[in-house]
Amino acid sequence: MDKVFSKDGTAIAYERTGQGPALILVGGAFQRRGDFGELPGLLAGDFDVITYDRRGRGDSGDTAPYDVQREIEDLDAVIGLAGGSAYVHGMSSGAVLALEAAGRGSAISRLSVYEPPFVVDDSRPPLPQDYVAHLTGLVESGARGDAVAYFLTRAVGVPQDVVTGMRQAPFWAGMEAVAHTLPYDGAVMGDTMSGRPLPAGRWDALADRLLVLDGGASEAWIRHGAKALPGLHRTLDSQDHDVDAKVLAPVLTEFFTTGPTL
């Protein structure tokens, strides 16, 4: 593990493995740099794979106040240590952060995203308008477990009885440990979980370097959201939001090796 410093001085912890062109993995909610399972190792034969702790997680700092632009600057700092440009793959809300970074001019030469959690129609309930404010209030009051539960039930759509059972599981403490970053993910998502179509043309300029992936076993709403993006689209058969690294890695390798003709 090493650290790079973002524009505002925040230390961002990262790890790298492999050799080749730089490929940065951007995690979604709860994910830390070590939470990508087998994926970095499966990619390391072709790429210099960099994983990092988004601000507020793991060994990274967390300078207040939060702003999405600061997270983009964190990614820019990681791109800088990679040589000034990089391939990027984003998971879930990390996919949206990567889209925002590329759209605002970050030096991302090719981008792949897996299931950005957009809600673009009535295939599931939208987030409440006060979602981020309510989540922030729970965190600030110290109700970290309740914040995690609110995120899981409202944003992810996990049934309440399932969440009640999860609260007794050993992994729950790890989720509570990064609960304060859940409003950050909410800010990254902005109004893209409102049940309305994405703004026309928002990411059209990325179409010729963007691969959009979804899982064939995922819920309809998240697949509809993925299909709302421009770019090259591919569905991974039998996969859901918890995609198998052995299925994902060859697709990423082919895309970043051969380009957008997959």
CB 28 within 8 A of CB 93: yes
Identity of the amino acid at 206: L
d(CA 239, CA 146): 29
Per the structure block, which two tokens stand in for 219? 């819920």
Task: Say if residue 29 is exposed, middle or buried (CB neighbours under 10 Å; 0-12, 13-18, 19+).
Answer: buried
Tell me the torsion sign for CA atoms 81, 86, 92, 94: positive
CB 225 within 8 A of CB 117: yes
pTM (2 d.p.): 0.96
Give 46's contacts (C-beta < 8 A, 6+ positions apart).
18, 20, 253, 256, 257
What string of pLDDT tens digits covers the 262 residues of the chain? Answer: 999 999 999 999 999 999 999 999 999 999 999 999 999 999 999 999 999 999 999 999 999 999 999 999 999 999 999 999 999 999 999 999 999 999 999 999 999 999 999 999 999 999 999 999 999 999 999 999 999 999 999 999 999 999 999 999 999 999 999 999 999 999 999 999 999 999 999 999 999 999 999 999 999 999 999 999 999 999 999 999 999 999 999 999 999 998 654 3
Strand partners, 236: 215
d(CA 226, CA 67): 25
- Give the strand order in the sheet containing 22-26: 2-5, 11-17, 48-52, 22-26, 86-91, 108-114, 210-215, 232-236
